[in-house]
Structure 1
Amino acid sequence: MAAERKPLAPPGEDWSSMVELVKETLAGGDMDSMTLTGMLKENGVPYDTSTKLINHLMATFQVVLMQQGDSMSLHLNSAEEQVQAQKMARLSNEEKLVFQAVEETQREGIWTKDLKYKTGLHKSVIDKALAKLVSVQLIRTFKPASSKSRKMYMLYSLEPVVDTSDVWYTNQELIGFVDNVSSVVLQFIQSRSSVTAEDVAAHLASHEAIKPPLALVNVQELIELLIRTGEVARLDESTFVCAPQSVPTYNGFTHTPCGHCPVFGDCHEDGIISPAKCIYLDDW
């Protein structure tokens, strides 16, 4: 007979054991509230207590409701997500609207003119919201390579899309340092059994001669170029090695007079032009 489960303490006495149980349960993946309360009930937590517990965890930003298809699921926030949820809770409706517009653009970013169009808010309201979002580190500013004078906004946790022409080109002319970078990359790959793009990026970042610093997307671009030129081979989706060097074949025939003879097609044993009468063979 199974051992009798000891009911967990009700709210007001000790929440810690129940909180840990919920966290352990949701750590295995998101689930709907009905499934979660059912699992808690199996562990001795009454339905009413489970509901209060879930509400408590949501109020303290430890758990959040997320849309998954046509249903809602409970998601356990990471420490970073919990901090962001706390910041979001303090925003006004206008600030949330601006944040959502910035969030939608991901790594591309957005500037104030487009924000005005997307949100319908007055410029002064947008400017105030942007200042607040930047100050609490929910978004940040950057200047794209294509327009150094334009201030753009993106999520604080993301890196902007790198304009590769800004790295590889100067005034639309391919700069010579690409060959130097390729050489450094090949030497590094040759010294390892296999590498990832992240390995190569870290190596280049520590290389004083590589200026400007390359973003991961540029490193991936360079590796793809080396694959196309046959100098690097792909082991799998994310791992690379130096390509096996092909051994040049030697065709001895092309080094004989016959291999260069302009009338080779008319040369026959009993013909007017024949090996026996060839003047080039004697010289060779």
Structure 2
Amino acid sequence: MSRGPSSLKRKQPDSRSPLESLTEQERILYNVIRSKQGIGIWLGDLRKELNIPDNVAKKFLKSLEAKKLIKLVANVHSKIKKHYLATEFEPSAEITGGAWYADGKLDTGFINILKSCCLKVIYNQRVVTLEGLSDAIRRSGLLTVDFTTQQIEEIAKTLVLDNEIVEVESNGVGEFDSILVGKVCYKCTSKGSRGDPITGAMASIPCGVCPRISDCTPDGIISPKTCRYYTEWLNF
């Protein structure tokens, strides 16, 4: 039996870009996810926002993942919930936990080491600016791992909350004579901690070592309600 020319034709691959090949429903879903940028969106919230059934949402998400337009990322606040981001974005610190998390777990060891280093420097220098604190720790060789000034600032803020140090502004007089007037500085409290391991009530709960505690609010992205470490501590 002879075959006509039409029967010999092969289906040509789709030369359109992934975005161009989206159906209307897929495009709506993709635009919602993309609009969330680095925060991304949880599957449950996505379904509510678009008012679509679970099976329909999963079908479109699977298609978008196959086209490499979105990706599934881990959320440190809930490893059970599926969280999606557009592939062009990197997950924000609110999702990953930032530099304070290693493999999805709060790196309490690193946090406590940084706290101890900060306290040692502040105790020895009596009063120090954020920049001076960061530089002193780098020069001291107390840490063999890299860190940022922002991390030191977050650690300093937790030490203020722990009442280990106080935050003051320079008046340019006495112990502040080498610091510009109005510059924020840190001093040890009357307890005069030398940077020994932190103990006490706050040290026994995750909040005591969490550098994001200043960002923690009852209804925020970072909150006691969503913190699995706080929940585990309560259930211990």
Question: Which TM-score tier does this pair reach, normalised by the shorter chain?
Answer: 0.3 to 0.5
In terms of fraction of residues, the more helix-rich structure is: 1
The structure with the largest alpha-carbon Rg is 1
TM-score w.r.t. the length of structure 1 is 0.35
TM-score w.r.t. the length of structure 2 is 0.41
